[in-house]
Structure 1
Amino acid sequence: MKAIRVARRSGWQNHIREHAYQADVLSDAAQKYWVEALPEPFAMQFHTTEETAIAVATERLWEMCVTFLDWFFTDEVYGAVDRRLERLRIPAPYWQVIKDSWDRCDPVEDLSLLTRFDLAVTEEGQIKLLEINGETPLLGAETVYQWNWYVDYQRNYQHSDYPLPSDANQFNDFWEHVAGQWRRIAEDYDLRKTGITFLVDENLEEDAEMAMQLIQILHDEVDPNIYVQILYLRGLRDEQGNEVQRGLGLDEEGYFIDAVNQRIPVLWKIYDWSDIQSDVANLGVTEALVRQLATAEVKVIEPLWKQVLSNKGALALLWECFKDSPDRRYLLPTYFEDDVSVEATRLLMGMSVKKPLLGMEGVGISIETGGGALESRPSLGYGREGFIIQEYVELPQAFGYYYVVGSWAIDGAAAGIVIRGDTSRITGRHCLIIPHIVSDAGLYIP
């Protein structure tokens, strides 16, 4: 694994605009979100054995997640599952419907589309799980665009000062694996009859771009006639503040409804279940939503059981489940902040990472040294629900950036990687997307 210099393509911004979702942010040189905005663009090169190791780790981590969830939702003693759900600060009214969701996940109900594991792939060759992006896994659009960069570079820039190796490839099967899972969902959920609604936050461009990418895959690879609609979370308003399109709603029976009051049979969302539950509680209609979810008539992607996997408390419980097994090699020692065990106390006294149970994109995370925070990100209101502490692992660096490998797991299979870099040890939002290649030769032979 090493960083390699690449040429900045003369028309890189135009190529992004013509071949990418997330085009605005990727092509904006000022944001430095895509690597060609840097004075010295670079890519990461992996050996085929490293590609295999990441794929094996990803698929094993998914198997561990399934084993963990089977344990999590099993009452070895009365009330054990409820106590675990309470430990994750999941609201009690939803406990039963979340349990039912896991019971229904096989074979044709409460299906998941995709999951992304954030991994530290160290310079010593270790692969360690940092986080599980199970419920709102963004970066699909960026994953696809890095393939388009690779194809364009191979076709037009091998004559530059920085050609790619002759055997260069890319670990990127995202499109094909998403298409395969869409086929399964389309058949099992009968999308040709029901259609599907994509719920996005109107304030977050990346939500809409991820939705459009997934819609393109669905239409190009499965069926162009499947009805889709984009629904905005809160609705749209004009410059005077007048509502011009309504957002997601609930009817009196707790069904999700769209902008024209039609019930939604299948919903894809990029909005946390915890936030939905909080919004519903503020509206005073929790009971109605729970009653509807119990019927399982509405199919939601990602399903309720993913709320457990996306909670960072799951990392502490995963460690508890696998700390004495060989699979611990993929995990970092992790504990709830209020754990008073000798092991947790020892971790607290050293260098550790403190993470809120909820939140994403580095929000509320701090690197602790036992005497205070070495580095931290703003909490933005997260943390009231509690924290975990995780053993610190030094991220590898390239050209002044610490980088994290995001590895996709789709229907249990490893589906490629996307790499993010940050000048901070805590990877934040709109950091740096770094393309990669896989090559054993490291040479370009014309």
Structure 2
Amino acid sequence: MKPIKIIRRPQWQRHIQENSYQADVLSDPKQKYWVEALPQPFAIQFDRSEETAIATATEAIWAMCVKFLDWFFIDREEGDVQQRLAALQIRPEYWQAIAQSWDRTQPVEDLSLCARFDLAVTAEGQIKLMEINGETPLLGAETVYQWNWLVDYLHNHQHSKYPLPSDANQFNEFWDAIAGQWRRIAAGYDLKQHGISFLVDENLEEDLEMAMQLIEILTDEVDPDIYTQIVYLRGLKDERGQEIQRGLGLDDDGYFVDHVNDRIPVLWKMYDWSDLQNDMANAGTTAALAARLATGEMKIIEPLWKQVLSNKGALAMMWEQFKDSEYRQYLLATYLDTDNSYESTQLLLGMHVRKPLLGLEGVAVSIETGFGALEQKESFGYGAEGFIVQEYIELPEAFGYYYAIGSWAIDGEAAGIIIRGDTSKITGRHCLIIPHIVSDNGLYLPD
């Protein structure tokens, strides 16, 4: 694994606009979101053995997640499951529905589309799980665009100052893997009859871009006749503040309804279950939604059981469950901040990372020692639900950016990677997307 210099393609912004979702943010040089906005662009090169190691780790971690959930939802003593759900600060009104979401097999199990593991991959070959993006895994648009970058580079820029190795490829099967999982979901959820609605936050462009990409994969690769629609979280307004489309609603029987008050039988959402549940509590509709979810009549992607995996407290429980197993090689020592054990105390005295149970994109995360914080991100209100403390691992660095590997798991199989970099050791929202290549050849060898 090593950084390599690449050129900034003369028409890179135009290529992004013509070949990418997230086009505005990727092609904006001021935001420095795509690597070609830098004075010296770069990529990360892996050899094939490293690609295999990341794929192996990804599939092993997913297998561990399945074993973890099987354990999590079994009462060995009365009240075990409730105690675990309470430790994750999940609203008790949804406990039954969450457990049934994992156990349900009839008429069809509660299916997942994808997950993304944030991995630290070190120069020494260690691969460690830092976080699980199980419930709202973004970066699909960026994953696909980096492939379009590679194709363009190999076709048009191999005679530049920095050519790629002639055997350059990419660990990137996202599009095909998503298409395969859409086929399973389309059959299991009978999307031809029911259609599917895509819930996005109207204030977040990346939500809409991810939804539009998934709709394209569904219609182009599965069935163009499946009905799809965009549903906005709070409603869409024009420049004068006038509502032009109502937002997501809930009827008296606990069904989600769209902007014309039709029930939504199948919903894909880019909105955390915890936030949605808080919204329902504020609206006084918790009981109706919880009862409807328990029946399984509404199908939600990602399903309720993903709420457990996406909670960082699950990482502490995984460590306790698997620290003496074959999965230890992929795990960082992790504890709930309420843990007063000797091992947790020792970790607190040394270098560690403090993360809120909820939150994403580095919010409320801090790198600490026993003497205080060395680096921290703003909390934006997160952290009241509690924290975990996690063993610190140094991320690799290239051209002033610390970078982490996002590895996709789709239907239990590794489906490619996306790399994010940050000048901070805590990867935040305004990060850098870094393309990668896979090659065993360090030199450009023309045909």
TM-score exceeds 0.5: yes
Measure, in 2, the Cα distance between the counterparts of 1:236 and 1:184: 32
Counterpart in the other structure of 1:283: 283
Report the CA distance between 1:443 and its aligned residue: 1.1
**Which residue pairs with 1:51 in the alignment?**
51
2:194 aligns with 194
AA partner of residue 38 (structure 2): L
Unaligned runs of 5+ in 2: none
1:417 aligns with 2:411: no
**1:141 Cα deviation from its structure 2 partner:** 0.2
Shift of 1:105: 5.8
1:229 aligns with 2:229: yes
Instruction: Tell me the alpha carbon deviations over residues 128-152 of structure 1, each in whole angstroms, 9 at most, x when there is no partner.
Output: 0000000000000000000000000
Superposition pairs of residues 260-299 of structure 1, within 5 angstroms: 260-299=260-299
Q: Deviations over 1:359-398 (max 9, x none)?
A: 0000010001111110000111100000000000000000
Alignment correspondent of 1:15: 15
Residue 347 of structure 1 is matched in structure 2 by 347
Counterpart for residue 76 of structure 1: 76
Structure 1 counterpart of 2:133, which letter?
N
**1:327 paired residue number:** 327
Task: Write the letter of the residue equivalent to 1:124.
Answer: E
What does residue 87 of structure 2 align with?
87
Q: Deviations over 1:184-222 (max 9, x none)?
A: 000111101100000000000000000011011101100
User: What is the rounded CA distance, in whole Å, between the counterparts of 1:173 and 1:106 in structure 2?
Assistant: 30
Is 1:108 aligned to residue 104 of structure 2?
no
CA contact (8 A) 2:201 2:207 kept: yes
**Residue 248 of structure 1 corresponds to which residue in structure 2?**
248
In structure 1, how many angstroms separate the alpha carbons of the residues matched to 2:313 and 2:57?
21
* Letter in structure 1 aligned against 2:317: L
Query: Offset of 1:176 from its aligned partner?
Result: 0.6
Are 2:408 and 2:416, in contact at CA under 8 Å, matched by a contact in 1? yes
Matched length: 446
1:395/1:404 contact within 8 Å kept: yes
Is 1:444 equivalent to 2:437 in the alignment?
no
Provide the identity percentage.
72
Question: Which letter maps to 1:380?
Answer: F
* 1:167 counterpart residue number: 167
**CA distances 1:66-118 after superposition (whole Å, capped 9, x unpaired):** 00000000100000000000000000000000000000168932100000000
C-alpha displacement of 1:430: 2.9
The question of whether the paired residues in 1 share the 8 Å contact of 2:234 and 2:247 is answered with: yes
Length-normalised TM-score, structure 1: 0.99
* Alpha-carbon contact 1:118-1:406 (below 8 Å) kept: yes
Range with bigger deviation, 288-297 or 47-56 = 288-297
Q: Which runs of 5+ in 1 are unaligned?
A: none
Q: Within 5 Å, give how 1:297-316 maps onto structure 2.
A: 297-316=297-316
Give deviations 1:401-421, integer Å, cap 9, x for gaps.
000000000000000000000
Residue aligned with 2:43, SS = strand
Deviates more, 1:96-105 or 1:5-14: 96-105
Aligned to 1:157: 157
| Separation in structure 2 between the aligned mates of residue 63 and residue 109 of structure 1, nearest angstrom | 17
Give the secondary structure class of the aligned counterpart of 1:64.
helix
1:209 is paired with a residue whose SS is: helix
* 2:376 is the alignment partner of 1:393: no
Q: CA deviation at 1:305?
A: 0.2
Distance across 1 between alignment mates of 2:315 and 2:14: 41
Taking the aligned partners of 1:310 and 1:370, their CA distance within structure 2 comes to: 27
| Structure 2 residue matching 1:131: 3-state secondary structure | strand
Measured in 2, the distance between the counterparts of 1:267 and 1:379 equals: 30
Deviation at 1:425, TM superposition (A): 0.3
Question: Once the 2 structures are TM-superposed, how far is the Cα of residue 295 of structure 1 from its aligned partner?
Answer: 1.6
Following the alignment from structure 2 to structure 1, what is the Cα–Cα distance between the partners of residues 433 and 107?
A: 36
Match in the other structure for 1:427: 427
Q: Is this contact kept in 1: 2:98–2:294, CA < 8 A?
A: no
Q: Distance in 1 between matches of 2:155 and 2:243?
A: 48
Q: 1:358 corresponds to which residue?
A: 358
Contact preservation (8 Å) 1:105, 1:111: no
- When normalised by structure 2's length, the TM-score is 0.99
2:404 and 2:106 map into 1 onto residues whose CA distance is: 32
**Helix, strand or coil for the counterpart of 1:375?**
strand
Opposite residue 36 of structure 2, the aligned amino acid is E
* Letter paired with 1:134: G
Cα RMSD for the two superposed structures: 0.9
Q: Distance in 2 between matches of 1:420 and 1:85?
A: 31
Partner AA of 2:202 in structure 1: E
Listed one character per residue, the Cα deviations across residues 233-273 of structure 1 (whole Å, up to 9, x for unaligned) are 00012233222110000011110000000000100001000
Whichever residue aligns with residue 45 of structure 2, its letter is Q
Alpha-carbon distance in 2 for matches of 1:189, 1:336: 37
- The SS at the match of 1:45 is strand
In 2, Cα distance between equivalents of 1:325 and 1:289: 39
- SS across alignment from 1:437: strand
What one-letter code is carried by the residue in structure 2 that aligns with 1:217? I
